[in-house]
Amino acid sequence: MRVESAAVGVEGGPARSEHGLKKDAIGFIDGLIIGIASTAPAYSLAAVLAIVVVGVGVQAPAVMLASCIPMFLIASSFHYMNRADPDCGTTFSWITRAIGPKVGWVGGWAVSMTGILVIGSLAQVAAYYTFDLLGATGLRDSTAANVVFTLVIIAVMTTICVLGTELSALVQRVMILFQVGALLMFAVVALLSGGPLSPELSWFSPFAVDSRDALILGVLTGVFIYWGWESAFKPQRGDRG
């Protein structure tokens, strides 16, 4: 006999709370900005892009274009899953209902752990380059100072998230303007200053990469750089808690 209770949702799955985000708290522009910010463009340039460049050289633009394909498929999956079953638990909730709680727990735990590791890395890079921007060389090279400032950044960002989604979206708007603006300035200066190389169309062809291993490494790194873009695909009927 199947026992019906408030703790049972879809055929033995977890119960769904009726609580969730306030309706229309996140609009299209906010969702787009959150998607861009989730890829951390400035962090990707400062800490990750060099891996792609070392591996494939001038073919880096081609590798980044190739990396769009798996990331586009992942983001599309999130989009259609959110249309069919909107839930802010995403991977954990969907896998739990489709396969079972054990596999769902593993998927949710993996997402949580990678998020914790990446947040720490993002904050550490922000702390290091903030000291560098201010000319505080001693603090920049101090492990203790970097750790303390990193924890402060994490605490401030966590507080903003707890205070509300709308405040988080507003802060993201301001931060993304600084990030994209700085990257655009960097790109313009790099292109206008000239150098030993001139841009060529062959740079955008993944077939021009000499080594298959280098291509695979570059694509995997590119997927990591784009990781977070799927957050732009918000549920069509609002998140469920």
Is residue 23 one of the residues assigned to a domain? Answer: no
What pLDDT is stored for residue 232 in this prediction? 67
pLDDT of the residue at 147: 93
Count CB atoms within 10 A of the CB of residue 63.
Answer: 26
In angstroms, rounded to a whole number, what is the distance separating the alpha carbons of residues 223 and 173?
Answer: 24
- Is 21 within the bounds of a domain? no
What does R_g of the chain's alpha carbons equal in angstroms?
Answer: 21
pLDDT of res. 13: 46
Could you give the number of structural domains in the chain?
A: 1
Which DSSP letter does residue 12 get? T
166, 25 in Cβ contact below 8 A? yes
pTM, whole model, 2 decimals?
0.64
In a domain, 144, yes or no: yes
pLDDT tens across the length of the chain (241 residues): 333 333 444 444 444 445 555 666 666 777 777 777 777 787 787 778 888 888 888 888 899 888 888 888 888 888 888 888 877 777 888 888 888 889 988 988 888 888 788 888 888 888 998 999 898 888 989 999 999 999 999 999 889 888 877 787 788 888 888 888 888 888 888 778 777 777 788 888 888 888 888 888 888 888 888 887 776 665 444 444 4
Q: Are 219 and 70 in contact (CB under 8 A)?
A: yes
Residue 87 included in any domain? yes
Give the domain range for residue 225. 28-195+202-232
DSSP string across 204-236: G-GGG-S-HHHHHHHHHHHHHHHTTGGGGS--S
- Domain-located, residue 188: yes
Q: Please report whether residue 20 resides in a domain.
A: no
Q: Residue 14: what pLDDT?
A: 45
* pLDDT value at residue 187: 82
pLDDT at 142: 92
113, 117, 118, 119 alpha-carbon torsion, rounded to 10°: 100
Q: Is residue 16 part of a domain?
A: no
Q: Has residue 185 been placed in a domain? A: yes
SS (H, E, C) 81-108: HHHHCCCCCHHHHHHHHHCCHHHHHHHH
